[in-house]
Amino acid sequence: MKKILFYMSALALFLSLTSCSKEEIDMYSQEARINFDYRTIYSELRDSDYVKMKTDPYRRDSVRVRIMGDLLTANRDFCIKKTENNSYSNTLDIQLDDKYTYSALDTVCQYVYFKVKRPAYKTGRKTYGCNLEFDLTNPNHQFEKGFVEDNSVEVNYVWDITEPKTWSDWYWLGVGDFSPIKYCYMMDVWGRTLDSFITPDGYAYDDDEANAAILQLDAAYKAYKAEHGPILDENGNDIFPDEEE
C-alpha cells in the first residue's frame, strides 16, 4: 500500500512539474508585447523650475517600458499618447514623439523620454496630472497589447516651493519671513533663485550683486504696488508691508 501511495505521489509531482514547465515555455515563447514598468511618474517642481517657466517652459522626463514574451531580434516601434485622468482638476501639457523605437535588444527594459510643460504656479501643493497610454490604434505601433493594468501610466506633478537654505542669510534679512508667494515674486523680478547668488566657492556672496538685487526688488515692488495694490501672501498679508514711521 505504501508503495502504491509513493508511486502515485511521484506521478503527481511529475505531472505538476511538466505542467509548470509547459506554462513557462508558453509564457516565454509568445509574441513580444510591451508594458509600462510602473504605475506612476511623480515629480515635484521646485524654485529652479519656476525660474525656467518663461525661458525654458518644458522639462524632460522619462518612463521605463518592459518587453514581455520573446526577446526582440530587431528594433521595433511603438507609440504613446496622452489621455486625461479625471482624478485631477488640473491637466498637463505633454510633448511626445510621433513614435519611439525599442532598441535595447539584449534586455527587456528601456527608458523613453518626453517633455512636460511646467504648469502655472498656484498656491498650495496643487497637483497636476494625466495618463500616458500605448496608442494601440496608431499604425506605427508594432506591439500587441500587454497586461491591461500596465497599458497606462499616471503622470503626477506638484509644485513645492520651499524656503531656500540661504533665506536667513544676513544679506536677505530685509525681505522678512518666508512665504512661497513672496519668493515667487522675488524670482519674477530677478529671473533667478536665491541660492544662485552664492558665489562658485559656495560660501559667500558678491556684495555689489546682492545689494543691487535688494534695490531692484524694492523699486520693482513699489512700482507694482502703486499701480496694482499689494500682493498678498498665503495668509492675506502684504508680502512687503510699508515700514511704520
Q: Note the pLDDT tens digit of each residue in 100-110.
A: 999 999 999 99
The C-alpha atoms of residue 179 and residue 233 are separated, in whole angstroms, by 7
Region 26-32: mean pLDDT is: 63
Q: What is the pLDDT of residues 141-196, one digit of tens each?
A: 999 888 888 899 999 999 999 999 999 988 898 899 999 999 999 999 999 999 99
The C-alpha atoms of residue 114 and residue 100 are separated, in whole angstroms, by 10
pLDDT of residue 12: 52
Q: What is the pTM of this model?
A: 0.80
As given in the structure block, the three cell numbers for residue 210 are 546682492
CATH number among 1.10.287.130, 2.60.40.1740, 3.40.50.2000, 3.40.309.10, domain 33-159: 2.60.40.1740
**Domain boundaries, given as residue ranges, for the chain:** 1-30, 33-159, 170-228
Edge-to-edge strand order for the sheet containing 33-36? 94-95, 109-117, 58-68, 33-36, 144-145
> At 144, is the secondary structure helix, strand, or coil?
strand
**Residue 88: pLDDT over 90:** yes
pLDDT of residue 70: 86
Region 81-90: mean pLDDT is: 96
Of all helices (H) and strands (E), which one includes residue 193?
none
Least confident segment among 69-73, 80-84, 160-164, 186-190: 69-73
Point out which residues pair with 114 in neighbouring strands.
61
pLDDT of residue 200: 81
As given in the structure block, the three cell numbers for residue 192 are 533667478
Region 191-213: mean pLDDT is: 87
Region 231-237: mean pLDDT is: 95
The C-alpha atoms of residue 34 and residue 223 are separated, in whole angstroms, by 57
> At 64, is the secondary structure helix, strand, or coil?
strand
CB atoms within 10 A of CB 65: 23
Q: Which ranges constitute the DSSP H helices of 125-228?
A: 180-190, 207-228
Region 11-20: mean pLDDT is: 46
